[in-house]
Amino acid sequence: MDEKFLKPYDPTETEPRIYAQWEQSGFFNPDTCIAAGAAKPDAPTFSIVLPPPNVTGRLHMGHALMLAVEDTLVRFKRMQGFRTLWLPGTDHAAIATQSVVEKKLKKEEGRSRHDLGREELLKRVEAFATESHDTIVKQLKTMGASLDWSRETFTLDEARNKAVRTVFKQMYDAGLIYRGLRIVNWDPKGQTTISDDEIVYEERTAKLYTFRYSKDFPIPVATTRPETKVGDVAVAVHPDDTRYQQYVGKEYDAVFCDVPIHINVVADKDVDPEFGTGAVGVTPAHSKIDWEIAERHNLSHENIVINEYAKMTVPGRLEGKKTTEARELVIEWLKSEGLLEKEEDTRQNIATAERTGGIIEPLPKLQWWIAVNKEIPGRGKTLKELMLEPIERGEIRFVSEQFEKVYRHWIENLRDWCISRQIWYGHRIPVWYRGEEIAVGEAPEDEGWTQDEDTLDTWFSSGLWTFSTLGWPETTPDLSAYHPTDLIETGYDILFFWVARMILMTEFALGTVPFKTIYLHGLVRDAQGRKMSKSLGNNLDPLDIAAKFGADAARMALMVGNTPGTDMRISEDKIKGYKHFANKLWNITRFILERTEGVELAAEFTQADAAIRDELSALAKDVTADLEAYRIHLAAEKLYHFTWHRLADEILEESKPILLGEDAAARASRARLLRDTLDTLLKLLHPFMPFVTEEIWQRIPNQSEKLLMVAAWPR
């Protein structure tokens, strides 16, 4: 028996050494597996793209869960003999990455990006991204991720740039990308547009003010933002509200806080007659809902009263004031004029930018958009229809079926996608101007052209991820072999950020699905069910956890009890429990090797041992079925209970007198059973706990395969 088993298992010494062996073997690469005979050239493929971590810092426990689930499936398929590709990459995460660098620049040098200039800022952002990338790669390896590093990609590298330019031009030529003046979510702090999905709503106490525009205006209106009312063009009431029907169609002039306004009274189905007075001021330039009301009633959209810095633009007492200051001035004026009828507390969801915390101002801006409801030339379908069809045809399935309904609802209500951002880091809009001329796609070779200043929404490039990483727009062997991918596994919170957009982009560019199955995991919360955050001090760092308990323990703790699509709780105590499990497996191995050393391994089982062997075969069958159906949590639980409670607590205890007894045939049978059981369990546990199982495997004498990671899965 290897003397290593005389000492306790040490994950801190074992895990880096084992990972280096795996990397050196080349078996993360499916081509190497084929060359070495670990997979056949005509074997079926199994492919996953890693959801690319943002190059903004360290991984969190949600990433660790993603890695544990995906690596488990990849190792399982590799051991089954599939041509298995897990393709790594990182995301430039434009807004998040530039925001980190800008904050550092402001804090350390007291300068803004405009002080630095575009070229110099980009140099600093790229240096930060490179440093963060190296940290992330180290973290991925620490968690045991068996990624094919030879195929690593980056959303902002030249190959992905080419894919982005190609898709942009194709969509532009099809009339699906257009530049238009529409209302957007404007982040005054970050000075850029952001998508609906990048908004964080914070519930706060606010004041609901009921007032009239003038003493002769017949309808009282209610609002939480009286400063925007200088931009009103109408008052909308519900068509069935009998209180106001006599005023519908009438027009009124007033001077509101020094600003002349013209108000039309319109009836609109979107008005809630139960909110406030049942009448709302329509401010098209500063509300998406009001913008749509104005479009339906042919009202002006041009009355912009708040600028990009959230300051008032109207002449008079409000000019140049911040919106919060202007609000107080408007209230003072309403009171002085006797127009304020009521003031009451209410709860309000405030829209804030996820990355900067800035309060969102809806503003009309000239931006680039993807038209989701326009028919695609030659295809007779819209992008929205392309996103729904593979679900309806069963070409894509959700592991957690409840998300299919959520997905359908979101797609059915999808609006045109704003894809331009007013930041410097990212894929620059591939459009050039020269006077009235415009060039799209590749930069013109002659002089006099100026490129659009804006960059693309990060989700545009990451929407191409499953096929741009495989070499598209070229027709590569990898693209032919591994696309569509088999699975996308990510958190349910980015179903619409990313997963839906991958379906949109892939269906348009390739006419196929990006993946066959969608596995959405839940959020990882602390032991009390709270979301992990720096402010609460309840963050668990995967690297710290791996250093303290081992990556295997962290992986098992994240998988056992983790039902797809539901949030889970994690604590150091739970992780510590699976460190004990790794030690238990180590001690089981020592017992079996000690007690079977020198004992003849019989060709025949006794009846009792044959029954246990059948039990083990049934376990292998169940675990295989669970993994193939993505019931990873059930497979992990079954292996844990069999190893600890059946093998350690019962079978090994029963084996002690047999192995010490005088019946040679019984001893040989039990010795063979224990060695076979150990070999089978190591194989079954390897996808879940790769480090400790590999370490044990390599120290068992006379193994046919030198590396467990490419040993044949139990049949």
> What would the pLDDT profile of 6-33 be if each residue is shown by its tens digit?
899 999 999 999 999 999 999 999 999 9
Q: What does the pLDDT average to over 658-666? A: 92
Domain assignment present for 423: yes
| Residue 49, domain member (yes or no) | no
551, 144 contact by CB (below 8 A): yes
Of 552, 713, 714, 603, nearest to 79 by C-alpha is 713
For the cut 70, the answer to whether the pLDDT of residue 533 exceeds it is no
Q: Does residue 111 have a pLDDT over 90?
A: yes
In a domain, 403, yes or no: yes
Taking 90 as the threshold, does the pLDDT of residue 197 lie above it? no
User: Is residue 183 domain-shared with residue 221, that is, in the same domain?
Assistant: no
Sorted by sequence, the CB contacts under 8 Å of residue 537 that are 6+ apart come out as none
d(CA 64, CA 143): 7
Q: Kindly state the average pLDDT of the residues 586-600.
A: 91
Confidence of residue 670 (pLDDT cuts 50, 70, 90): very high
Average pLDDT, the chain: 94
Question: What value does the mean pLDDT take over residues 530-554?
Answer: 82
Q: What is the mean pLDDT of residues 445-457?
A: 95
Strands 83-87 and 45-49: parallel
Q: What is the pLDDT at residue 302?
A: 84
Long-range contacts of 624-628 (CB under 8 A, 24+ apart): 624/713, 624/714, 627/72, 627/73, 627/76, 627/687
pLDDT above 70 as % of the chain: 99
Cα gap 559→76, rounded to integer Å: 15
What pLDDT is attached to residue 2? Answer: 79
Residues 230 and 377 reside in one and the same domain:
no
Partners of residue 434 on adjacent β-strands: 437
Q: Mean pLDDT across the stretch 612-626?
A: 97
- Average the pLDDT over 127-141 and give the result: 92
Same domain, 556 and 601: yes
- Kindly state the average pLDDT of the residues 217-242: 96
Q: Do 399 and 331 share a structural domain?
A: no
Domain boundary among 316, 336, 360: 360
- Predicted pLDDT at 703: 77
Rounded CA-CA distance 98/430 in Å is 20
- For residue 153, being part of any structural domain is answered with no
Average pLDDT (536-541) is: 74
Contact 318, 230 (CB under 8 A): yes
**CATH code, domain carrying 685:** 1.10.730.10
**Residue 381 pLDDT:** 95
Q: Are residues 335 and 241 located together in one domain of the fold?
A: yes
| Residue ranges making up the domain that contains 367 | 170-192+363-456
Percent of the chain with pLDDT over 90: 83
* Total tally of structural domains belonging to the chain: 3
324 and 220 co-located in one domain: yes
Mean pLDDT of 647-660: 96
Residue 629 falls inside a structural domain? yes
Q: Among 430, 456, 482, where does a domain finish? A: 456
Q: Are 180 and 201 in the same domain?
A: no
Q: What is the CATH number of the domain that holds 265?
A: 3.90.740.10
pLDDT at 526 over 90: no
Residues 188 and 280 in one domain: no
Q: Quick check: is 656 in a domain? A: yes
Question: Quick one: 219 and 351 in the same domain?
Answer: yes
Residues 292, 355 within the same domain: yes
pLDDT tens column, 355-395: 888 999 999 999 999 999 999 999 999 999 999 999 999 99
pLDDT for residue 453: 95
Distance CA 650, CA 656 (A): 10
Domain-ending residue, one of 412, 436, 456: 456
Other CB atoms closer than 10 Å to residue 485's CB: what's the count?
Answer: 26
pLDDT exceeds 80 at position 535: no
Q: Are residues 334 and 385 in the same domain?
A: no
Domain match, 246 and 350 both: yes
